[in-house]
Chain A
Amino acid sequence: GAGVSQSPSNKVTEKGKDVELRCDPISGHTALYWYRQSLGQGLEFLIYFQGNSAPDKSGLPSDRFSAERTGGSVSTLTIQRTQQEDSAVYLCASSLAGQSNEKLFFGSGTQLSVL
């Protein structure tokens, strides 16, 4: 498709389990971002990729969170030993080159529920 694709759209897991969230950006976009949106909150930055490198991972809340990007395309966000406070919508976005004034194209997100 032409847009940013995220899977799964919904994920329910038990506390303590690991989860993997996938993002497929727009073809040709070198920049990829992960944000988290908790209920009633704005978007919280997690990590930024330029190609396969992550020059800014300052928003990852703990070492349970990690992300990688391969082939300059698909990215996976992994949360280990999930906690209830990890419940949120995880949004992925991509942009053409990662310039400060670029338009971000967002996917529809993965709704994560940790029971």
Chain B
Amino acid sequence: QKEVEQDPGPLSVPEGAIVSLNCTYSNSAFQYFMWYRQYSRKGPELLMYTYSSGNKEDGRFTAQVDKSSKYISLFIRDSQPSDSATYLCAMNKNGAQKLVFGQGTRLTINP
């Protein structure tokens, strides 16, 4: 079993919809939780970062972490075609340098 599980999709929604992306994990030592966005033929870029449990909002994006359930989410409001990309969750233990990534969810926003 992988340390981090993420549904690979693909997920296709109409423009303007609210998108929910999720990951589950098994290692309770994870403290830092990130979401990276990867466009085709590009490297991932950091989208959101959260430390421990809680919510974080940045514009149309909201990241949630529930450590008791070992479950993290990324919500995208008012989705745009430019949001079409692969979204990867990633997490890290305190003091570690090795980020553990989910498989990535391929998202398409249809105009």
Contacts and interface: CB of A to CB of B under 8 A. Distances in A.
B32 A40 contact: no
Contact of B97 (A4, A43, A100, A103): A100
B106 to A, nearest CB: 9
A93 interface: yes
A100 B45 CA distance: 16
25 contacts: A31-B97, A33-B97, A41-B103, A42-B6, A42-B101, A42-B104, A43-B99, A43-B101, A45-B100, A48-B98, A50-B97, A56-B97, A100-B31, A100-B92, A100-B93, A100-B94, A100-B95, A101-B32, A103-B46, A103-B49, A104-B44, A106-B43, A106-B45, A108-B42, A109-B43
Interface of B: 4, 6, 8, 31-32, 41-46, 49, 51, 88, 90, 92-104
Given A41-B104, A100-B31, 16 more contacts: A4-B43, A33-B99, A42-B101, A42-B103, A43-B99, A43-B101, A93-B43, A100-B93, A100-B94, A100-B95, A101-B51, A106-B43, A107-B43, A108-B43, A109-B41, A109-B43
